[in-house]
Amino acid sequence: MHSRSNAIRHAFFALTLTASAQSFAQSSVTLYGIVDNGLGYVSNSSSLGATSGGKSATKMTPGVWAGSRFGLKGAEDLGGKTSAIFQLESGFNSATGAVQYTNAMFGRQAWVGITNPTYGTLTAGRQYGSYYQLLSAYSPTTWLTGFYGAHPGDIDGLDTIYRSNNTLLYKSPTLYGVTVSGSYSMGGVAGSLNQGSTWNTAIQYAMGPVGIGVGFSRINNSTVGGGAWGSDSTTSNNGSQAGVSALTNGYQTAKAQQRFAVGTSYKFNSAWDLTATYSNVQYIPGINSKFTDTAIFNTGGAVLHWKPLAAWDFATGYSYTRATRANGIQDSARYQQANLSEYYSLSKRTGLYALQAYQRASGKTLGTSGAGHIIDATATLGDGFNTTPSSSASQAAFGIGIIHRF
């Protein structure tokens, strides 16, 4: 009897261990991160809105190739091929240790959702909108970085700085190479579903060597009444107005912003591939805006990537941006930007990189005061110098760095 009781206890213990192991096997959490530090030089740096006084600067520039971060992501099998998923991601300054976003521990991403290979994925929280998610594969930032290589001022939002709070996002399964996605970010403004909201829609086709994506995004700023439109957009990055740079400083009181973009790629072989993008960006005025007519910027760009050896990657890119509708300005602003990048893999997780960039601006644009304040267009490379653009028509920069992923 005693031996039988022991056998029952042993069997129950083994069954418990098996069930526990199966439970653990159905759930997973991964800790990951990036640490990126480098040195950078810029030929002409001043404060946004300045028209003189620019000086060269050499300083440590963290997070250039990829923003320094750490995060947690995980999944739990719910049965029927359905899983619960989540991601929490925090950015930090790897030169000082400071958090990237004040009062936002997981300011890069914080979302939870459900995914199924047949029905798609639905997520809720702070995340990238559908526009960026399906166009990012064609972004110039893939090999040129956003800091140096985003289209001037990241005018079309193809870098990773536009994340939206309070977002519901759906992405379909991929069928015959086609994926569709839509997202809506709630503004949370009492009495209005529109104020402070952001919505995105996008479609992507990727099959063999060819890829193409089309996306649309609209950001509705939230402040009304006595304050100017655009002083607070609750769904944009860290609760601030999206896309303010030397290109758009005169339009930062916009009621809304719209972005339409098309991206495409072609892989010639294992060594060569080409990406190209076109975007149309509109800044739409409201009753309290400091400009009166919709401003429109059109940008075209291309990046050629070359991988001659397993450890080496090289890329070169060019973009042209023009304000095609500029509140009556005849000689409207134009921006030409050229970039080079070199990357060497020390290992699967660690790499060295070097970047070079040059931009030339011409024509006229609106200054901080909006309509009636017409100034010479000034250069602002990528999106790393949005708050410290050139005080003249040109800007050159280069940087070197090391990146480690874990």
Tell me the pLDDT tens digit for each residue of 336-378.
999 999 999 999 999 999 999 999 999 999 998 888 899 999 9
- Write the pLDDT tens digit of every residue in 21-65: 444 448 999 999 999 999 999 998 887 766 566 788 999 999 999
Give the per-residue pLDDT at 195. 77
CATH assignment of 24-405, among 2.120.10.30, 3.40.50.2030, 3.30.300.130, 2.40.160.10: 2.40.160.10
Max CA distance (Å), the chain: 100
Tell me the average pLDDT across 123-145: 96
Take residue 285 and report the two structure tokens written for it: 């005025």
- Distance set, CA 207 to CA 194, 302, 363, 371 (Å): 37, 20, 41, 47
| Tens-place pLDDT, residues 159-184 | 987 888 899 999 999 999 999 999 99
pLDDT surpasses 80 at 239: no
User: Residues 6 or more apart from 237 whose CB is under 8 A from it?
Assistant: 161, 162, 163
The pLDDT of 111-127, averaged and rounded, is 97
- Coil vs helix vs strand at 9: helix
Q: What is the mean pLDDT of residues 377-402?
A: 94
Per domain, the residue ranges of the chain are 24-405
Calpha distance 145→143 (Å, rounded): 6
Share of the chain above pLDDT 70, in %: 87
Nearest-CA neighbor of 378 among 129, 65, 44? 44
CA distance 356 to 212: 28
- The phi, psi pair for 171, rounded to 5°, reads -130, 130
SS3 content of the chain, % helix, strand, coil (to 5): 10, 50, 40
